[in-house]
Amino acid sequence: MAEQMDWIGIVRALGRGFSEKTAEHDATDTFVTESYAALQSNGVFAAGVPAELGGGGASHAELCEMIREVAHHCSSTALALSMHTHLVASMAYIWRSGNTAVEPLLHRVATEGLILVTSGASDWLAGSGQFEKVDGGYRLTGRKRFCSGAPAGHVLLTTGVYDDPQEGPIVVHVPLALDAPGVTVLDTWHVLGMRGTGSNDIQLEGVFIPDAAMSGVRRPAGKWHPFVHIVTLIALPLIYAAYRGIAETARSLAIEMAKSRKSDPNVAYTVGEMENQLVTAQLAHVSLIDLATSSPPGPETTSAALIRRTILANAVMRTVEKAMEVAGGGAFYRSAHLERMFRDIQGARYHLLPEKSQTRYTGRVLLGLDIDT
């Protein structure tokens, strides 16, 4: 793959086609199949793989901008893409740090067009699912939630908990082929917003994991680990690029809808309030991206990233709320698209860590308390 690609231009051109199907997928609770196919045929899923491994070599900032651009056209496509992309970007970060264990999977993303799915939201620090030791490996049983992109995915990056006789409960990170025996993608994604992401549950029933595949990240259950700090730092700017893109589009639509009422003095006040919220979100997102490219992973950097995540999440939600107010009663109609964006933006509140957990974590870091308690 060429080292220098105009990834922003590529997704901008593709996005015009995404817009045509967005409302249909929202109305029918169906996955954004056409958008994903277009992204794959244009090599977008390999954009974050280092050029040395055959990928697109896009920087972290470029990846964020790509997702933001996609969100201007289709919220669900952008959010689903962010989940694959943050896995690739995290592995690329690890690879550039000198750990070559992730190289084979990165190479497969670049050469085979693999689409990755994460179960991180349902695993987090404690992990989920149970490993049982058997001859030649382990069997993993559990149910994973919020697996965005599952209908089109090839590999699930997930965890299980093994009750080690010496070490106690250990979370082990493993890759699973989504067509492996015992892996079932369930039809569970019938939700308020982001309906096209295909974030279905995945049921694992005694899925066999060979011993060799258990050699990845191992960490004590329920504890912060250097790997988790890396993923937090890299993933948040990518995920919230989608929500920033939604808020920017909602703002533009609302201003257009309000032009017929601009003689009303109250409209100008509301437009100004909306713009303040959007600029707050944009500044927080830029700062979040800067952290990912300039600060070493660790408890203090994670706190800084999570603070920005809270500010950003609150600001994008308030931006779209204000957009509804700016647009007036017309925003209530589906044909205006703002009501869909209002529903989609609610997803911003649910990604890790939510505000109460963030403020507690930040407070404990500042007070020098144990963050694992």
Assign domain 120-220 to its CATH superfamily.
Butyryl-CoA Dehydrogenase, subunit A, domain 2 (2.40.110.10)
Tell whether the torsion through CA atoms of 50, 236, 130 and 141 is positive or negative.
Answer: negative
- pLDDT tens, N- to C-terminus, the chain (373 residues): 445 799 999 999 999 899 999 999 999 999 999 999 999 999 999 999 999 999 999 999 999 999 999 999 999 999 999 999 999 999 999 999 999 999 999 999 999 999 999 998 889 999 999 999 999 999 999 999 999 999 999 999 999 999 999 999 999 999 999 999 999 999 999 999 999 999 999 999 999 999 999 988 999 999 999 999 999 999 999 999 999 999 999 999 999 999 999 899 899 999 999 999 999 999 999 999 999 999 999 999 999 999 999 999 999 999 999 999 999 999 999 999 999 999 999 999 999 999 999 999 999 999 999 999 8
The span from the CA of 113 to the CA of 93, in Å, is: 20
Residue with tokens 């470029």, as numbered in its chain = 62
Assign domain 7-114 to its CATH superfamily.
Acyl-CoA dehydrogenase/oxidase, N-terminal domain (1.10.540.10)
Tell whether the torsion through CA atoms of 36, 73, 192 and 312 is positive or negative.
Answer: positive
Q: Which two tokens stand for residue 125?
A: 């620090």
Q: Render the burial of 292-314: b for 16+ CB within 10 Å, e for the rest.
A: beeeebeeebbbbbbbbbbbbbb
Cβ neighbour number for residue 222 with a 10 Å cutoff = 14
State if pTM tops 0.85: yes
For the purposes of burial, counting CB atoms within 10 Å of the CB of 367, is it exposed (0-12), middle (13-18) or buried (19 or more)?
exposed
Give 142's contacts (C-beta < 8 A, 6+ positions apart): 128, 129, 130, 160, 204
**CATH 1.20.1090.10 applies to domain 226-367:** no
For the chain, domain boundaries: 7-114, 120-220, 226-367
